[in-house]
Amino acid sequence: MKIPNTILAMLGGIGLTLFSLWFGQHNHLLPVPATADAALVDGLFNTMLTVSVGLFLLVQGLLIYAVIVFRQRPGDETDGPPIRGNIPLEVLWTSIPAAIVLAISIYSYEVYNAMGGLDPMAAGGTAIAHHHHHGGAAIAAPLDGMAPDMGNGRQVAYGVGADPDSMGKGPDVTIDVTGLQYAWLFNYANDGIMSGDLHVPVDQDVQLNIVAQDVLHAFWIPQFRLKQDAIPGQMTQLRFKPTVTGHYPIVCAELCGSYHGAMRAEVVVDSPEDYAAWKTSMVAAAGLDQSAIAAAIPTKQLSDADYLAPYGAELGIDPGAIAQLQP
């Protein structure tokens, strides 16, 4: 008994849909999700992959079917049927992709908003950073000229800010991040700590104030599903809540010079106890307590090269490279 073509097409469509849904949810192409918002990005990625796989298999399947079924038979020298166009078919294959693109755009907008991408006023509306250079330790201060003023002391902080549930609330931890050829420096201004690796506590709201010292860099943590440009003269921000303890790579994802590939660091998501112990050990290693930090501030500002020299030595950065830094 011959099965009608409509039944075969329906069965093929069902099989194609089921395979696309399965592959979209079990592709294992992404690293472990380590932040609260990573699941949102993964859901969007899996949806796009499901649609892409389904369309790819459908189009390629139809092409293969057409090549086999409508091939020229031996001895057949006749012309093909004079088909000039099919308006309903053209409307169909134009409207379906347009509807898919529109749906994915709306979905992407919702994910971006849920992550805090539509909150330009991070930490409740005042963009504060701590990159002013002083001897001994860095002291919290406004980052002059880093963001345009929106009035009433509010400044735009480009990047991913507070999600709708946290909007108007300050972060639990604020860290200043400086990108320079070819390293990342992390300044915990409230604790007087400068580090070459990023330590953050698990399940706490963290805000990174990011700026570049020299050229354009990109701060990327794949497991956090976050990437943000580090721009000279312009502060950007990332705000997130890490949920899985562990060690994750920090990658510069913007070509920034000859040793761009080596511009890597590590983010360590600690338990609250380990995070407190790490801060204590860093202060002790520097030979400073909180009172000594305040007493060590000179009245005169240091140049960028002088300020970074001790940290550069610790990170193995050539002093000559630091001396070439522009103000």
**pLDDT score at 14:** 92
Q: Looking at the chain, which runs of residues are DSSP E strands? A: 149-151, 154-155, 158-160, 173-180, 183-188, 193-195, 198-201, 206-212, 217-221, 226-230, 236-240, 246-252, 264-270
Q: Residues 255, 258, 261, 262: is their CA dihedral positive or negative?
A: negative
**pLDDT score at 170:** 84
Q: Does domain 131-323 have CATH number 2.60.40.420?
A: yes
The residues of the chain scoring below 70 in pLDDT are 119-157, 287-327
CA distance linking residue 161 with residue 119, whole number of Å = 5
**pLDDT score at 255:** 93
Helix (H) or strand (E) run with residue 306 in it = helix 304-315
For the beta carbon of residue 20, count every other beta carbon within 10 angstroms: 20
**pLDDT score at 295:** 56
Which phi and psi (to 5°) does residue 106 adopt?
-65, -45
**pLDDT score at 117:** 82
**pLDDT score at 318:** 66
DSSP labels, 65-96: HHHHHTPPPTT--PPPP-----HHHHHHHHHH
Model pTM above 0.75: no
> Is cis: bond before 275, omega within 30 of 0?
no
Among the listed residues 326, 319, 302, 313, the one whose alpha carbon sits nearest the alpha carbon of residue 132: 302
**pLDDT score at 322:** 58
**pLDDT score at 118:** 77
**pLDDT score at 283:** 85
The letter for the amino acid at 48 is M
